C-alpha cells in the first residue's frame, strides 16, 4: 500500500514539472517513512549509490566531448561523412547517420548529439530539398543509433548498475551501431529513390584529401579508444582522462580557438552534468532498497517466468518496457529504477550481461526518440520546426529500421559479443 503512495507522489511531482531526481528523492523518502524503515537508510543509500571508480570516467568524457565540439571537431567529422557518401542518391541523409557514428564516439551524450547534429545538418538538408519531416526523422533516427557508439555516459552508468566491465560494454557497442546504421541506410536509399532526393557532386581527390586531413585530429579519439580497449592498455576511467588530456592539447596547440575562460566554463558545465548523474544514481539506490524489501524482483521473476525458456522473447519484452520508461522518464532514470529489478532475472536464464546491457542501451536510445513525448525527438523536431503529428507520417519507416536493428541484436548475440570475446574480456 505504501509503495502505491510512493508511485502516486512521484507521478504527481513529475506532472508538476519537478525535476525527476528530486521527485525520486522525495517519493523515496516517503516510502522509507511509510514503510517504517530507518531514515538512516537515506544517507547511507546516497553514499553507496555514488561510490564507484568507474563513474570517474563520466566527467572526463563529458568535458572532452564538450571541448571537442567547441573546437569544431564535429564540423570536420561531418564534412568527412558528406565527402564519403554525399554523392550517392540520398547521400546527404546517409551522411547524417555516418556523421553521428563518428561524432557519438566523441561526445558521449545523446542530448549533445541531437543538438549538434540537428543544428549543423538540418539547414543543409532543408536547402537541398528535404522536407522538414524527413530532416527531423534523419536526425532523430541517427541519434537513436548513436547511443550504441562509445563512450556513452549511459553505458558507464549501466556498467556500474549491473557490475559489468565498462570496457567490455564499450567494445560491444561498435558493431551493433554499425548494424543499425545499415538498416537506416536501407530505408534512406528507398526513400531517396522514391522521393527523388538530390545528391552532391562527386568530390575530387583534393576535396577528399582535405576532408580526411581535417578529420584526422578528431578521429584519433575513437581509434585510440578501440585499440586501447581491445589490447587491454587502459581502463574506461583511464581512457576518459587520456581523451580529456588529448582534447586540451588539441584545443591549445592545434585549433587555438578556445580561451582559458571558455575552457573553465566547460569544466563547470561538465561538473554540473556529472553531479546530476551522480545524484540520480544515489537517489535511485533508495528505490532499489525499497523494491528489494517489497520482494518486487521475486514477483517480477515469477511474472516473467513463462518467458525464461525463450531468452530472446524475454529481452524483447524488457526492451519494450524500457522504451516506454525511457520515453517518459528519459534514459538514465529509467535505467536506474528498472534495470536492477530485471537484471537478476536475465542472469538466471543465461543472458550474457554484456549482451543484456547493449540491448537495453539500444532500447533506451529508441525510447528517447519515440513519439509523442521522447525528449530527444522533441529536440530534433525543434530544429526542423515541425509538429509531432505532421512528423509521424514520415517517421515510421525509420522507426521500423531502428526496431529491425534492435531485433537483430536480440536474435544474434554474437553481433554484440564478438569484439569483447576477441579482446579476451569474455569467453
Query: What are 76-133's pLDDT values in tens digits?
Result: 877 888 888 877 888 888 888 988 888 776 666 676 677 777 777 788 888 878 888 8
The pLDDT of residue 294 is 67
The pLDDT of residue 179 is 95
In a domain, 148, yes or no: yes
Q: Using an 8 Å Cβ cutoff, are 365 and 377 in contact?
A: no
In a domain, 342, yes or no: yes
> How far apart are alpha carbons 148 and 405 in whole angstroms?
11
At residue 336, the 3 state secondary structure works out as helix
At residue 350, the 3 state secondary structure works out as coil
The pLDDT of residue 291 is 67
DSSP class of residue 305 equals G
Residue 212 grid coordinates:
580526411
Section 361-374 average pLDDT: 83
132-174 pLDDT, tens per residue?
888 889 988 998 898 898 888 788 888 888 888 888 998 999 9
Q: Using an 8 Å Cβ cutoff, are 108 and 219 in contact?
A: no
The pLDDT of residue 52 is 64
Which residue did the predictor score with more confidence, 281 or 140?
A: 140
Average pLDDT, the chain: 81
> How far apart are alpha carbons 261 and 290 in whole angstroms?
45
User: Which residue has cell 529481452?
Assistant: 315
The pLDDT of residue 72 is 76
Helix (H) or strand (E) holding 68: helix 57-71
Which residue did the predictor score with more confidence, 224 or 180?
A: 180
Of 31-45, 153-167, 294-308, the one with minimum mean pLDDT is 294-308
CA of residue 399 relative to chain centroid, distance? 16
Q: Is pLDDT of 406 > 90?
A: yes
Q: At what angle do helices 388-411 and 132-146 cross, to 10 degrees?
A: 30
Q: Using an 8 Å Cβ cutoff, are 377 and 370 in contact?
A: yes
> How far apart are alpha carbons 282 and 384 in whole angstroms?
36
Section 331-360 average pLDDT: 83
- Residue-range definition of the domain harbouring residue 127: 51-267+297-422
Position 315 confidence tier, pLDDT thresholds 50, 70, 90: very high
Q: ω before 151 within 30° of 0 (cis)? A: yes
Which residue did the predictor score with more confidence, 289 or 91?
A: 91
> Length of the chain, please?
427
What are the CA-CA distances from residue 244 to residues 62, 107, 157, 218, 237 (Å)? 9, 11, 19, 12, 11
* Percentages of the chain per state (helix, strand, coil), in multiples of 5: 80, 0, 20
Section 250-276 average pLDDT: 84
**Contacts of 3 by beta carbon, 8 Å cutoff, 6+ apart:** 31, 290, 294
Q: ω before 372 within 30° of 0 (cis)? A: yes
Burial 137-150 (b: 16+ CB within 10 A, else e): bbbbbbbbbbbbbb
Q: Is pLDDT of 249 > 80?
A: yes
Residue 375 grid coordinates:
525528449
**Contacts of 169 by beta carbon, 8 Å cutoff, 6+ apart:** 150, 155, 158, 159, 354, 357, 358, 361
The pLDDT of residue 382 is 78
Position 373 confidence tier, pLDDT thresholds 50, 70, 90: low
> How far apart are alpha carbons 115 and 2 in whole angstroms?
40
Total structural domains within the chain: 1
In a domain, 187, yes or no: yes
The pLDDT of residue 1 is 60
Q: Is pLDDT of 260 > 90?
A: no
In a domain, 357, yes or no: yes
In a domain, 116, yes or no: yes
In a domain, 376, yes or no: yes
> How far apart are alpha carbons 70 and 248 in whole angstroms?
11
The pLDDT of residue 54 is 63
17-30 pLDDT, tens per residue?
677 677 777 877 77
Section 37-54 average pLDDT: 68
How buried is residue 92: exposed, middle or buried, by Cβ count under 10 Å (0-12/13-18/19+)?
A: buried
Q: DSSP alpha helices (H): ranges in 349-387?
A: 353-367, 375-384
Q: Using an 8 Å Cβ cutoff, are 376 and 369 in contact?
A: yes
In a domain, 231, yes or no: yes
Residue 48 grid coordinates:
553507496
Q: Is pLDDT of 74 > 80?
A: no
Amino acid at each position: 500500500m505504501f509503495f502505491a503512495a510512493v508511485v502516486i507522489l512521484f507521478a504527481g511531482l513529475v506532472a508538476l514539472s519537478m525535476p525527476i531526481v528530486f521527485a525520486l528523492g522525495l517519493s523515496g523518502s516517503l516510502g522509507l517513512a511509510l514503510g517504517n524503515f530507518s531514515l538512516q537508510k537515506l544517507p547511507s543509500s546516497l553514499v553507496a549509490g555514488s561510490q564507484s571508480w568507474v563513474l570517474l570516467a563520466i566527467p572526463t568524457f563529458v568535458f572532452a566531448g564538450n571541448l571537442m565540439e567547441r573546437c569544431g571537431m564535429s564540423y570536420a567529422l561531418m564534412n568527412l561523412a558528406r565527402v564519403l557518401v554525399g554523392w550517392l542518391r540520398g547521400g546527404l541523409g546517409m551522411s547524417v547517420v555516418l556523421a553521428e557514428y563518428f561524432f557519438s564516439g566523441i561526445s558521449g551524450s545523446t542530448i549533445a548529439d541531437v543538438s549538434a547534429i540537428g543544428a549543423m545538418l538540418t539547414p543543409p538538408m532543408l536547402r537541398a530539398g528535404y522536407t522538414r519531416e524527413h530532416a527531423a526523422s534523419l536526425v532523430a533516427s541517427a541519434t537513436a543509433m548513436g547511443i550504441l557508439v562509445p563512450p556513452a555516459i549511459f553505458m558507464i552508468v549501466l556498467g556500474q548498475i549491473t557490475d559489468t566491465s565498462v570496457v567490455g560494454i564499450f567494445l560491444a557497442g561498435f558493431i551493433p551501431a554499425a548494424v543499425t546504421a545499415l538498416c537506416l541506410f536501407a530505408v534512406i536509399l528507398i526513400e531517396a529513390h522514391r522521393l527523388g532526393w538530390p545528391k552532391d557532386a562527386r568530390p575530387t581527390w583534393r576535396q577528399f584529401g582535405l576532408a580526411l586531413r581535417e578529420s584526422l585530429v578528431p578521429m584519433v579519439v575513437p581509434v585510440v579508444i578501440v585499440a586501447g580497449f581491445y589490447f587491454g592498455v587502459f581502463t574506461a576511467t583511464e581512457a576518459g582522462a587520456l581523451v580529456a588530456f588529448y582534447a586540451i592539447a588539441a584545443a591549445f596547440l592545434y585549433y587555438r580557438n578556445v580561451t582559458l575562460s571558455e575552457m573553465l566554463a566547460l569544466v563547470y558545465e561538465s561538473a554540473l552534468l556529472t553531479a546530476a548523474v551522480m545524484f540520480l544514481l544515489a537517489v535511485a539506490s533508495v528505490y532499489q532498497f525499497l523494491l528489494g524489501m517489497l520482494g518486487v524482483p521475486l514477483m517480477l521473476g515469477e511474472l516473467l517466468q513463462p518467458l525464461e525458456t525463450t531468452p530472446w522473447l524475454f529481452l524483447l519484452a524488457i526492451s519494450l518496457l524500457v522504451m516506454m520508461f525511457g520515453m517518459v522518464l528519459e534514459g538514465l532514470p529509467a535505467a536506474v529504477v528498472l534495470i536492477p529489478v530485471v537484471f537478476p532475472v536475465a542472469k538466471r536464464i543465461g543472458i550474457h550481461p554484456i549482451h543484456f546491457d547493449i540491448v537495453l542501451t539500444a532500447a533506451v536510445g529508441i525510447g528517447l526518440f519515440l513519439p509523442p513525448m521522447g525528449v530527444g525527438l522533441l529536440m530534433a523536431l525543434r530544429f526542423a520546426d515541425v509538429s509531432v503529428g505532421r512528423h509521424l507520417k514520415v517517421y515510421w519507416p525509420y522507426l521500423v529500421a531502428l526496431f529491425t536493428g534492435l531485433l537483430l541484436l536480440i536474435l544474434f548475440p554474437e553481433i554484440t559479443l564478438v569484439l569483447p570475446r576477441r579482446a579476451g574480456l569474455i569467453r
